[in-house]
Amino acid sequence: MIQIKHLFKTYGEVDSGAHALEDVSIDIADGDIVGIIGMSGAGKSTLVRCINLLERPTSGQIVVDGQDVVGLSGAALRAYRRRVAMIFQSFGLLSQKTVLANVCFPYLAATGKVTAENRARALELLDLVGLKEKAASYPSQLSGGQQQRVAIARALACEPEYILCDEATSALDPASTNTILKLLRDINRETGVTVIVITHSMGVVEKICRNVVVLDHGRVVEQGSVADVFADPRSDAAKVLLERVDWDA
Amino acid sequence: MLNELAAFADEYGELLLEGTGATVVMLIVPTLVSYVIGLALGVVLYLTAPGSLRPHPKLNAVLGWVVNICRSFPFIVLMISIIPFTRIVIGTSSGILGTVPPLVLSTSPFIARMVEQSLAEVPRESVEAVEACGASTPRVVFSALLPEAMPSLVRGVAVTLIAVLGYTAIAGAVGAGGLGDIAIRYGYYRYQTEVMIAAIVILVVIVQVIQSVCDIVARKVDHRTQG
């Protein structure tokens, strides 16, 4: 499980700079699908990028299965990053590599080579996301939804315990969004991988998340089960995100 | 007309051929050496920039200054001012070999900036996605950044070669030979305009060939467009 404890992230000078995250504490249970929702600039991307240490928190702890990961560096950091794979809003695929080579990249990153076994596993993963026949294509030949499925296959090649989704469906049309969300839900059910979904869309949270954390101006303003928060949103941010306010007021 | 051309070729063919050979050598050898230095410098400049993979403001600033200082010298001034250095390194400051140190010194920083720019064009998310897969910095550079930047790097080769071709004409004039030297000696000092025109025509052909070959290669290695 991931325990985020009193996390602060400040850009610029510590005392005068802007707080992107202020005293954020969240527990994420294994096997959960948790949504982290907030308006643009609420700090949700910063939070998820702190979890896999693409950004270093200014202070606070991120405890994964009892170990504080904030201080990790070198090989330990790289091994940890494979435990928390990530998918991105604009997919982050390598445009000069084939779909198969993209999915094989985590093996290359981990061991410096790609074995025949790795390639066979990558093809299985591509089959899982329904794109086995696209293995030899390049990302530019795929639609956005297909590219995100390749990115999911690549994330799975890390054999992760957690998958971080940073606005993974925000660039996609509703049909592709549903495909991606279903895929994430099925993977969660079948493998028990924990999924952390960053989004500004309550629709996404409603479809796949069990628990939700509402961020506003870098602070956690509400958290609980999706059923509870949807039934009785208390924070202003949650009310706006659920469109429970008179927009014309 | 044909007879005149044949007579011209008879008289100056060998001279122009030798000049072309000298120019090509002055173009290729220093550029190859410069690419070894320039690629390394460019990668380090990219990696140490603020917000990049290995931010190191001091190293970045110092390298930036060195690159800018080398690039501030007009080539002819650089070439003359480092003659003592060239003599120590090569043993002579004239001839084709004598052009290598000044050409490398002015081309490497040029390449470094081109490489830095090509790498900066690689989408941020692609680089982060690779980092998120647990790739080390050398792995990111060699397996992701450089391959992703390849079409842009190849186009940079064309720009570099054509810039160096311009430098070789200047270097030639100071005693290294080559087409630029021929154009100046025959055209400017001896009023043999036709020799100068022939040299210019060959230079134009070389530029066209460089650009066309690099364009074709760049398209060939680029998989970003469909088809």
Of all residues in chain A, the one with the smallest CA distance to B227 is A141
- Give pLDDT, residue B170: 85
Could you give the angle at the alpha carbon of B206 between the alpha carbons of B203 and B207, nearest 5°?
A: 90
Token readout for A149 is 């499925």
Identify all chain A residues contacting B139, using CB atoms and an 8 Å cutoff.
108-109, 112
A84-87/A33-37 β-pairing: unpaired
Token readout for B12 is 């100056």
Residue that the structure tokens 């007579």 belong to: B7
- Say how far apart CA B151 and CA B174 lie, in whole Å: 36
CB atoms within 10 A of CB B29: 16
Residue A16 has pLDDT above 70, yes or no: no
Identify all chain B residues contacting A91, using CB atoms and an 8 Å cutoff.
125, 129
Please tell me if residue A151 touches chain B, with a CB cutoff of 8 Å: yes
Q: What are the angstrom distances between the C-alpha of A234 and each of A44, A173, A221, A246?
A: 19, 30, 9, 15
Residue A41 has pLDDT above 90, yes or no: no
| DSSP 8-state assignment for residue A127 | H
* Mean pLDDT computed over A128-142: 96
Please tell me if residue A90 touches chain B, with a CB cutoff of 8 Å: yes
Contact A96 B148 (CB under 8 A): yes
Residue A40 has pLDDT above 50, yes or no: yes
- Say how far apart CA A123 and CA B65 lie, in whole Å: 48
pLDDT bin (cut points 50, 70, 90) of residue A91 is very high
Of residues B9 and A185, more confidently modeled: A185
Identify all chain A residues contacting B130, using CB atoms and an 8 Å cutoff.
92, 94, 105, 109
Contact map slice: B 122-151 vs A, CB within 8 A = 123, 125-126, 128-136, 139, 143-144, 147-148, 150-151
Give residue-wise pLDDT tens across range B24-36: 999 999 999 999 9
Token readout for B100 is 């290598």
Please tell me if residue A138 touches chain B, with a CB cutoff of 8 Å: yes
The pTM of the full predicted model, rounded to 2 decimals, is 0.90
- Say how far apart CA A97 and CA B32 lie, in whole Å: 27
Identify all chain B residues contacting A114, using CB atoms and an 8 Å cutoff.
none
Sorted by sequence, the CB contacts under 8 Å of residue B28 that are 6+ apart come out as none
- Give pLDDT, residue A243: 83
Give residue-wise pLDDT tens across range A196-235: 999 999 899 999 999 999 999 999 999 999 999 989 998 9
Sorted by sequence, the CB contacts under 8 Å of residue B183 that are 6+ apart come out as B169, B195, B196, B199, B200, B203
pLDDT above 70 covers what percent of chain A? Answer: 98
Q: Which of A78, A109, A140 sits opposite B224 (nearest CB)?
A: A140
**Residue B223 C-alpha, separation from nearest chain A C-alpha, in angstroms:** 5
**Residue A95 C-alpha, separation from nearest chain B C-alpha, in angstroms:** 6
- pLDDT < 70 stretches in chain B: 226-227
Contact A158 B133 (CB under 8 A): yes
Contact A109 B135 (CB under 8 A): yes
Please tell me if residue B221 touches chain A, with a CB cutoff of 8 Å: yes
Sorted by sequence, the CB contacts under 8 Å of residue A102 that are 6+ apart come out as A93, A94, A139, A150, A154
Please tell me if residue A106 touches chain B, with a CB cutoff of 8 Å: yes
CB atoms within 10 A of CB B49: 18
Q: What are the angstrom distances between the C-alpha of B160 and each of B56, B81, B109?
A: 28, 23, 11
Overall residue count recorded for chain A in this entry = 249
- Give pLDDT, residue B226: 55
Contact A140 B226 (CB under 8 A): yes
- Give pLDDT, residue B227: 47
Token readout for B145 is 């950044």
Quick one: CA torsion of A89, A93, A96, A102, rounded to 10 degrees? -170
Contact B123 A52 (CB under 8 A): no
As for the ipTM of the complex, it is 0.90
